[in-house]
Chain A
Amino acid sequence: MQYFGKKSFSSFLYVLIEIAWYLGFAAIAACGVVFGLVALNDPASVMAYLKGTQVDGYVLGFRSWGLEVRMPLSVMANPTPLLSMMAMVAVRLCVIQAIVFQLKRILAGLRDGQLFREEDARRVRTIGIVVLVGIVANGLTSLLAGIAAGKGIHIEGASLRAIGGIDLVEVLAGLVILVLGELLAQAAAMRADQELIV
């Protein structure tokens, strides 16, 4: 299998990433539309609208620790939890888009057969930084969404408590990406040197 150049694995990945790039924008736009609808319109009518369009009339849901929780809209006293969840999703999508953009540029270079470029090293390091910043941003927005959900969702007999925190595995992944970026920078420098050896 050919990994670099035209009609290679890289060019196939580039097409996938390109699709993900546009889907990401569509998802962010969808978040914005729902956010705007809930924030600017009468919350009751928007919630009634959402009830009619969502599967089984459920719009609130989260997954954590291998558990998916879905709640009926009736448990929501006000639209703040929905807004905060939309904001949380939008922040995550923005982080993903930033990573996808850098990957897109790297894969474009690989597709064209350009290896070990200083530009790619810089992009890999940017991905590492975005991952680390994204972890903090995700943690904060999750915490804020959790606080909003705790105040705005009332389920009889259940207590909701906002919890923050960061995923250490994700932090490790971000650090590993930074190290790989540095490694690529060294490789790019070696390549530049190699080009001037006759």
Chain B
Amino acid sequence: MAIKVNLDRVLLERGVSLTELSERVGLTLANLSILKGNKAKAVRFSTLDAICRELGCQPGDILEREAEAGGRA
């Protein structure tokens, strides 16, 4: 997928574990693992808002669009 989730990097920078984040934002660990592992097909605005609020970051810090193999940026 062209959209890459950088949750693991942001978590590392903030020194927050996935378990701790799941407790703070009220999401299951399984769902957060799906997001962290780039397996999610969609993210709710409410989920993104809660994660950004707890980690003190912007959505752009978590989501990143990668250039596709064909070369289009």
Interface residues of A (CB under 8 A from B): 193, 196-198
Contact = CB atoms under 8 A, between A and B. Distances in A.
Most interface-central of B39, B40, B41 (chain A CB within 10 A): B41
Contacts of B41: 193, 196-197
B31 interface: yes
B43 A197 contact: yes
Contact of A196 (B27, B32, B40, B47): B40
A198 B27 CA distance: 8
Q: Please classify how large the interface on chain B is, using the bins under 10, 10 to 19, 20 to 34, 35 or more.
A: 10 to 19
A122 B32 CA distance: 32
B42 to A, nearest CB: 4
B44 interface: yes
Nearest to A198: B31
A193 B42 CA distance: 9
A5 B51 CA distance: 35
B34 interface: yes
B11 interface: no
B52 interface: no
Contacts of A196: 34, 39-42
Contacts of B31: 198
B27 to A, nearest CB: 7
B35 interface: yes
Given A196-B41, A198-B34, 10 more contacts: A193-B42, A196-B40, A196-B42, A197-B40, A197-B41, A197-B43, A197-B44, A198-B27, A198-B40, A198-B43
